[in-house]
Amino acid sequence: MADLKTFGISILMIGLFWGVGADLSADEPSVEIIDKTNWKKAEGLVPDALLDWVKKGEITLPVGELNYDITEYTPSYVIEGRTGNVGKYELDAENIVVEAETGKIAKLLMGFPFPKIDPNDPKAAIKIIYNKQYVTYILGFKRLTDFTWWIGRDTGFEREIEILYEDAALTGFPGARKHENPKGIERYSISSVRAPYDLAGTSTLMWRYFSAEQDVTFGYLPAIRRTRRTTPAARSDGVVGSDFALDDILAYGGKIPYFEWELIEKKEALIPFASTEPMGLNISEKGEWTTLCDRPVRYGFHDKEWQGAPWAPLNTTYVKLPVWVLKAKAKDQYYNYGIQYIWVVDDIWGPAYKTINDRTDNFWKLLSVTTAVYKSDDEKVKFTGWADSLIIDSRRNHATIISEVNQDAVITCNAVLDLNDFSLAGFQKFCK
């Protein structure tokens, strides 16, 4: 049923809290602009598709350096886990994370499960992608209001969708310990479309398990005024006309055991950052961390004088960091995508890029994820987040942007949430 695809629109924001021109503010350090005149300087440092667009003048790459040590921008329990978690966890026969000593599913690990990667380990790629999965878990419960933009080559900006999202991972951070979890839930999430009017009220509830069991999802459509269980399949289908599929979230947002994973290489790459300076952070009386948008990410369609692609980021900065390049292939023979290549930043484990081929192994889409860091005024809270995501469909000459770094977005980590909201009864209050 075609309307069921609408359920997927709200999932676009799952895990998202976690790319360009020379319009730089005065407090930014000097940068080198890589464009069509000197594109060879970026060769091997970005995906081939992105390099090709630089050669054509559609995107430029301002290259700079961070004015902070990004490895320090993470909670203390994550820093402790860099040594404490070494050798503590392993993968079982189904590629589920388990305690190395007991073989039991690891339900309450703190930080990243595999902080040290041996490139000769046959399961190195799977361990890296699990670290990537935990980049949002380590920041506790989350409440977000964010936006998705449709951008056409000739049409420019087409439409915007506003989504409220709540996420409760029951692992990765100390606060997870106080919640009973007899069902073995890895993460709950609810997302609900707030605008435009024709989609408002469309909502999705997801339960994800630690085991290899498929996600359980429920959807509400205002047109039928019913909540129904929906299929977890079709995760490679485009969602309501966008260029994103559900599994594109943070480079890969699906169940890890359902793919074959291979480590291709470790190398240096140019990673897009929203700013080379940390952004602000407010701490509430309840202890919630709400980000401040000190520097919105702007795109080509925001500037009438811009001559490149309308989806090109105009004020991000590319920073050279080491990455792991992974190869992923779905075990499902009906999966729409062919081979995918996922670039994960070393040490901080955030996503940077994904190249998507079709089933004949020809290039199809490119996904780019922008990194941002935040700190409170007293510097007691610091963390790294993965914000705006840009996906470009080369066949459609079309792109979709999931925008987090803008002045209308509200991002709260370490949020106070009621787990009763993630029951079927609690879910109803998010529906129109």
Domain ranges of the chain: 2-18+24-430
pLDDT tens digits for range 329-349: 999 988 999 999 999 999 999
pLDDT tens digits for range 203-229: 889 999 999 999 998 988 887 888 888
Superfamily of segment(s) 2-18+24-430: Lipoprotein localisation LolA/LolB/LppX (2.50.20.10)
Confidence of residue 29 (pLDDT cuts 50, 70, 90): low
Alpha carbon distance 90, 100 (integer Å): 5
Question: Do residues 148 and 195 make contact, with C-beta atoms less than 8 angstroms apart?
Answer: no
Between CA 413 and CA 418, with CA 416 as vertex, the angle to 5 degrees is 130
The pLDDT value given to residue 431: 86
Confidence of residue 264 (pLDDT cuts 50, 70, 90): very high
Q: What mean pLDDT is predicted for residues 381-393?
A: 95
Question: What distances in angstroms separate CA 205 from CA 220, 367, 423, 428, one per listed residue?
Answer: 9, 25, 9, 10
Question: Do residues 97 and 130 make contact, with C-beta atoms less than 8 angstroms apart?
Answer: yes
**Would you say residue 389 has pLDDT above 90?**
yes
Q: Who contacts 264 (Cβ-Cβ below 8 Å, separation ≥6)?
A: 325, 326, 327, 341
Confidence of residue 14 (pLDDT cuts 50, 70, 90): very low
Q: Provide the pairing of β-strand 363-376 with 279-283.
A: parallel
Nearest of 328, 409, 428 to residue 143 by alpha carbon: 409
Confidence of residue 201 (pLDDT cuts 50, 70, 90): confident
The pLDDT value given to residue 24: 38
Alpha carbon distance 114, 131 (integer Å): 6
Tell me: cis bond preceding 196? Omega within 30 of 0 counts. Answer: yes
CB contact burial 188-201 (16+ within 10 A = b; e otherwise): bbbbbbbeeeebeb
In this structure, what token pair is assigned to residue 139? 């920041």
The pLDDT value given to residue 106: 97
pLDDT tens digits for range 91-144: 999 999 999 999 999 999 999 999 999 999 999 999 999 999 999 999 999 999
- Length of the chain, please? 432
In this structure, what token pair is assigned to residue 357? 């081929």
SS3 per residue for the chain = CHHHHHHHHHHHHCCCCCCCCCCCCCCCCCCEEECCCCHHHHCCCCCHHHHHHHHCCCCCEEEECCCCCHHHCCCHHHHHHHHHCCCCEEECCCCCEEECCCCCECCCCECCCCCCCCCCCCCHHHHHHHHHHHHHHCCCCEEEEEEEEEEECCCEEEEEEEEEEEEEECCECHHHHHCCCCCCEEEEEEEEEEECCCCCCCEEEEEEECCCCCCEEEEEECCCCEEEEECCCCCCCECCCCCCEHHHHHHCCCCHHHEEEEEEEEEEEEEEECCCCCEEEEECCCCCEEECCCCCCCEHHHCCCCCCCCCCECCCEEEEEEEEEEEEEECCCCCCCCCEEEEEECCCCCEEEEEEECCCCCEEEEEEEEEEEEEECCCCCEEEEEEEEEEEECCCCEEEEEECCCCCCEEEECCCCCHHHHCHHHHHHHCC
The pLDDT value given to residue 252: 94
**Would you say residue 164 has pLDDT above 70?**
yes
As a whole number, the mean pLDDT across the chain is 91
Q: Residue type at 39?
A: W
Alpha carbon distance 207, 94 (integer Å): 19
Question: Do residues 264 and 338 make contact, with C-beta atoms less than 8 angstroms apart?
Answer: no
Tell me the whole-structure pTM to 2 decimals. 0.92
Q: What is the largest CA-CA distance in the chain?
A: 61
Q: What mean pLDDT is predicted for residues 372-396?
A: 95
The pLDDT value given to residue 397: 95
